[in-house]
Structure 1
């Protein structure tokens, strides 16, 4: 199976340690460009640009990467709860043109209800997905070149039209992640690729089967992806030591505070992440090499694959065997870990990393002669 490997752009900041540390990195334009250029040069297929009140605006960040990237695809959040489908259709077409067909869109109807309320969205969990269904109906028709009249429960447009088509026809591919029944229904009706956070393989298999069956009811097929962190080192011991080091600055009070905040959210996916560890440090390996330590204090994707290159590659293959063809990965800090993962794991996945693997290297002026001899 040919796998797509994406990396993550930390638009809310980066760090070597979760929790309070002296090693935080601001998400400056220069730093984000550095990660994007490095990821493209290493051979990653795409970059996820996240969304949220603590993140830089994903559309502006994506636009800032146009002049410094040529090949890598950008997976940008499409917030169906914020703004209307007609303006976002124009934005998508414009950005896809500027990227010469490298735009992917990550449909985000929900998130943190309190954060959405701060942005003026007062809809309940299921209402957000019902509104997203109307939004995507209009959005797709606009990008298909139709003039749209639509009068729904949540959205209404009259003689709406998009005048500039995207490069990708009929629209840039739609990605999406959500664990509730409402989310699975939306995925079945509208999206091209369903993303799940890193749960144990059996749980992921059940989600894939459910979304696949619901899509079949609409005579559709859906691709599948996995969003997970990675901690890969040359040996198993090194990997686990660095996993524990990542959360070594977190106090029990930090964990309790974070888990209380996440418990208030109406996200089913967030509830599933929290249930994996229950806020307890001694219950973090939730499946072989699947470690839930990140989720102690980080919302959203909270698990990591931990191990040596061969072990992590084998775990990724287990998910691929379930039907996963896209992996959206990240690691702390994101610049260094993008390099490490590509060098150590890409060759085991059949991907070509841009390295001088197997050649003699000293960093000196006569390396080529040494390699030849």
Structure 2
């Protein structure tokens, strides 16, 4: 049998370390942002077969997220409550300097046997930067800064004496000891603009994209991988999705309809205004949310568009279709995290593994 762990699609979940859940809706969400809830959730996810958890970074209230826990310290708390789960801590260049970030993450890596990773967020919300007194850069400049941030992190973590001359960061014979545990912390990033994809093709280990159809995911993957090969670089792709898995498709679709019918129009439209303006600021005038409808925007990262809504078998088949399109990881949000993560691990992941193995064997 040639099916190996490397062939298996990875699973991650959004850490609800901010209030309001993962949809901009007044529907009941049995999810909260407390430490106790999240520790238990991390343990449930680990047992269910999830590989990663992704913490969120926000500095200001908005769109239902009135309260926000800081991502790095919250991630460390989840790592302390688990044994195998990897936690991806979100970092925002500007508020974070790469020297501080490199040292923080190296220490957490040391303390957790290498289970911490980072997600470099270039930023889309101008009002947030203004609120905390951070200079707001033009779209592509934010990605240039993020690329320098990543190059600095990797250089600090790998070189005995690191020197760097960038437009945003400078280092002079800097030596960080101890280094992170082996393997080095993986570096994730997101975005769908030209600048985001080009950056991923040069420096990132993982590229997150918003939810979409397999055909659209394949188009992005082909573009990134072609450029990555030309750069002599290797990058893997994660896709956002919001899962509604029920015993019948009718029940799952009914839940989706209720989420949208109870959406907060003012908050959804305000969020849409900000993210679409951020995308229009790119040279090509298109970013992550360029084609998102009102219904899509009810879930922050177009999670409904990945269509993981239906029975366990339907959702498993759609995950394998996304994998066939080039997705190496599925990043999931849920309405009721603890219950639904457990259910997903029990009912969906085993079916995904069976389908993956069957495809490998059929190809032999």
Q: TM-score, normalised by structure 2?
A: 0.84
Distance change (3 Å), C-alpha of 1:179 and 1:117: same
The CA deviation string for residues 316-371 of structure 1, in whole angstroms up to 9 with x for no partner, is: 111111221211111112112112212221120128xxxxxxxxxxxxxxxxxxxx
Distance 1:105 1:270, change over 3 A: farther
What's the CA shift for 1:145? Answer: 3.0
Residues 230-259 of structure 1, C-alpha deviations (whole Å, 9 max, x = no match): 111111111101111223322555544443
Superposed structure 1 runs of 4+ greater than 6 Å apart:
267-270
Separation (CA, whole Å) in 2 of partners of 1:347 and 1:195: 24
Counterpart among 2, 12, 15 of residue 9 in structure 1: 15
1:211 aligned residue (224, 235, 252): 224
Shift of 1:15: 4.8
Corresponding residue number in structure 1 for 2:34? 28
Alignment of 1:43-58 (within 5 A): 43-53=49-59, 54=61, 55-58=68-71
Matched, 1:250 2:253: no
Per-residue CA deviation, residues 262-318 of structure 1 (Å, 9 max, x unaligned), is: 3333477995435232x2xxxxxxxxxxxxx3x333433442521111111111111
- Whether the aligned pair in 2 keeps the contact of 1:81 and 1:132 (CA below 8 Å) is no
For residues 129-140 of structure 1, the aligned pairs below 5 Å read 129-140=143-154
Alignment of 1:213-232 (within 5 A): 213-232=226-245
Q: Retained in 2: the 8 A contact 1:262–1:299?
A: no
Aligned: 1:296 with 2:309: no
The answer on 1:41 being equivalent to 2:35 is no
Using a 3 Å threshold, how does the CA distance of structure 1 residues 72 and 25 change in structure 2: closer, same or farther?
closer
Secondary structure class of the residue paired with 2:278: coil
1:84 aligned onto 2:101: no
Aligned to 1:361: none
Indicate the residue corresponding to 1:275 in structure 2.
291
- Tell me which residue corresponds to 1:320: 323
**Does the CA-based 8 Å contact 1:81-1:110 persist in structure 2?**
no
| C-alpha RMSD of the superposition | 2.4
Q: Which residue in 2 is equivalent to 1:96? A: 109
Structure index of larger Rg: 1
On the 8 A contact 2:190/2:209 being kept in 1, the answer is yes
Residues 1:191 and 2:204 aligned together: yes
| Structure 1 residues 145 and 261, CA gap change in structure 2 (3 angstroms) | closer
Greater mean alpha carbon deviation, residues 89-98 or residues 133-142? 133-142
CA contact (8 A) 1:330 1:337 kept: no
Per-residue CA distance 1:155-177 (angstroms, 9 max, x = gap): 122232211111124x2111221
Matching of residue 147 in structure 1 with residue 161 in structure 2? yes
* 1:342 aligned partner: 345
SS of alignment partner, residue 157 of structure 1: strand
Distance 1:142 1:226, change over 3 A: same
Give the C-alpha shift of residue 46 in structure 1: 1.4
CA distance in 2, matches of 1:44, 1:80: 28
**Cα 1:274–1:298 shift into 2, 3 Å:** farther
Aligned partner (choices 137, 141, 166) of residue 123 of structure 1: 137
- Shift of the 222–66 alpha-carbon distance from structure 1 to 2, 3 Å rule, reads closer
